Amino acid sequence: MNKDIELVLFSEEKLHSVVQELGRQITADYQGRNLLLLSILKGSVVFMTDLMRQIDLPCELDFMAVSSYGNGVKASGTVRILKDLDRDIRGYDVLIVEDILDSGMTLNYLMDLLYARNPNSIRICTLFDKPERRKVDIYPDYKGLEVPDEFIVGYGLDYAEKYRNLPYVGVLKREVYENKE
Ligand code: IMP
Ligand code: MG
């Protein structure tokens, strides 16, 4: 797998310290709140499992799965819900945990959908942010690292469902894409 990586952008140690700092901020901000961590499957699972252990507060955990855009972004920005939450979010302070904020279309749609269910609050925590790629007005409340407009994999992030298990984050070699197309 490592042979497919052009460049390691963030080491395991770097990711650990970034996640630790996010956990510290969230712990400070959510004192006395009813925190529900909402992981968007599947990309955010590695981040989520590390982040939750850096949050020193009572909190709960839930998951949603949404369709990816497949071949290109749908003009409507509509996202298909593949797995919904298990609970009513009224009374919860929902913190959406995402791997990467790219066009922002997925979270924009999800935020509208979740707001309609009347939680106490909703915020976004993303490990990576590609601000240059944004197509809608959406800003993360917590963000780990800004990344350039390159396709990255590892630490939960995939290319064609592979590479999620890399402990670091890297840029894929071009030939990996080119061979597949
Ligand atoms: P958005 O709706 O365009 O913001 O889509 C965000 C989703 O696209 C993320 O949750 C990822 O699943 C995927 N994505 C965007 N950029 C990358 C990348 O560089 N590597 C892997 N997945 C990515
Ligand atoms: Mg994702």
Q: Which residue has the tokens 């064609």?
A: 160
**Ligand 1 contact, 164 CB (< 6 A):** no
Q: Where in the sequence numbering do the catalytic residues fall?
A: 102
Query: In angstroms, what is the span from residue 31 Cα to ligand 1's centroid?
Result: 31
Ligand 1 pocket, 151 CB below 6 A? Answer: yes
Model confidence pLDDT, tens digit, residues 146-169: 999 999 999 999 999 999 999 999
Nearest protein Cα to ligand 1, atom 22: 157
Cβ of 101 less than 6 Å from ligand 1? yes
d(CA 172, CA 159): 9
Neighbours of 105 (CB within 10 A): 19
Nearest ligand, measured from the Cα of 106: 1
pLDDT band at 21 (very low <50, low <70, confident <90, very high): very high
Residue with tokens 């240059």: 132
CA 39/CA 72 separation, integer angstroms: 23
Distance CA 132, CA 148 (A): 8
For atom 9 of ligand 1, the residue with the nearest CA is: 100
At residue 177, what are phi and psi to the nearest 5 degrees?
A: -70, -45
CATH architecture assigned to 13-147:
3-Layer(aba) Sandwich (3.40)
Structure tokens at 86: 């298990």
Confidence class for position 130, pLDDT limits 50, 70, 90: very high
Is residue 76 predicted with pLDDT exceeding 60?
no
Rounded CA separation 175/164 (Å):
19
pLDDT at 137 over 90: yes
Q: What's the pLDDT band for 71 if we cut at 50, 70, 90?
A: very low
CB neighbours of 9 closer than 8 A, spacing ≥ 6? 147, 152, 168, 169, 170, 171
